[in-house]
Amino acid sequence: MSRTRTPVVAGWFTEGTVEKDFRLLGTRCCACSSVFFPRQDTFCRNPGCTGGELVEVPLSRRGTVWSYTDGRYRPPAPYISDPDAPWEPYVLIAVELAAERMVVLGQAAPGVGIGDLTVGMTVEVVPGVLNEDAPQGGGTVWTTWHWRPVTTATGAAQGGAA
């Protein structure tokens, strides 16, 4: 059965599963060149700007780890989760994008733990899956973005900006 892939937030990233084409999508103000992510589509948030047209721009694929942490326990309400489902620890990374001069949060790709990360290492954005509905619930695959350390051909993680 083919499953529907639906972005968990529409318009924040490109669709499709080809890693090299996958990008986060922000907007850039034509007047002051400020870039926004999450995207701003109605007005420029730069207080020193009189406002310009906001156009969609793909963000840099790679950035450097600014900070990271992991979630090892189920957050309290109002966070919604199934108390009967096993809690899967996850890693959250704050990634600095040099060209856009911003920090973008995201979950680490599956299999990446905090022991695999260091501040300043290069990571790249890859398509990811946040959740999959049960087939009887429509079987929708909810897509998101993940950050993954950039590895060399030998498989070792690479430091510094690429």
Q: Are 129 and 144 in contact (CB under 8 A)?
A: yes
31 binds Zn ion (CB under 5 A): yes
Give yes or no for residue 141 binding Zn ion (CB under 5 A): no
Decide: is 162 part of the binding site for Zn ion (CB under 5 A). Answer: no
Q: Return the structure tokens found at 8.
A: 């968990």
Taking CB under 5 A as the criterion, the residue among 40, 46, 140, 144 binding Zn ion is 46
Q: What's the sign of the alpha-carbon dihedral 38, 44, 46, 47?
A: negative
> How many residues form the binding site for Zn ion (CB under 5 A)?
7
Q: Tell me whether residue 28 or residue 146 sits nearer to Zn ion (CB atom).
A: 28
35 binds Zn ion (CB under 5 A): no
Look at phi and psi of residue 120 and say left if phi exceeds 0, alpha if psi is from -120 to 50, else beta. left
* Closest to Zn ion by CB, 27 or 122: 27
Q: Are 109 and 130 in contact (CB under 8 A)?
A: no
Query: Phi then psi for 50, rounded to 5 degrees?
Result: -80, -5
> For residues 65 and 117, what is the distance between their CA atoms, to the nearest angstrom?
8
Q: CB under 5 A: which stretch of 20-28, 30-38, 62-70, 107-115 binds Zn ion?
A: 30-38
Minimum CB–partner distance for residue 53 and Zn ion (Å): 9
Q: Please report whether residue 95 would count as binding Zn ion according to CB under 5 A.
A: no
Identify whether the C-beta of residue 88 lies closer than 8 Å to the C-beta of residue 132: no
Q: Which is nearer to Zn ion, 25 or 49 (CB)?
A: 49
List residues near Zn ion by CB under 5 A: 29, 31-32, 44, 46, 49, 52
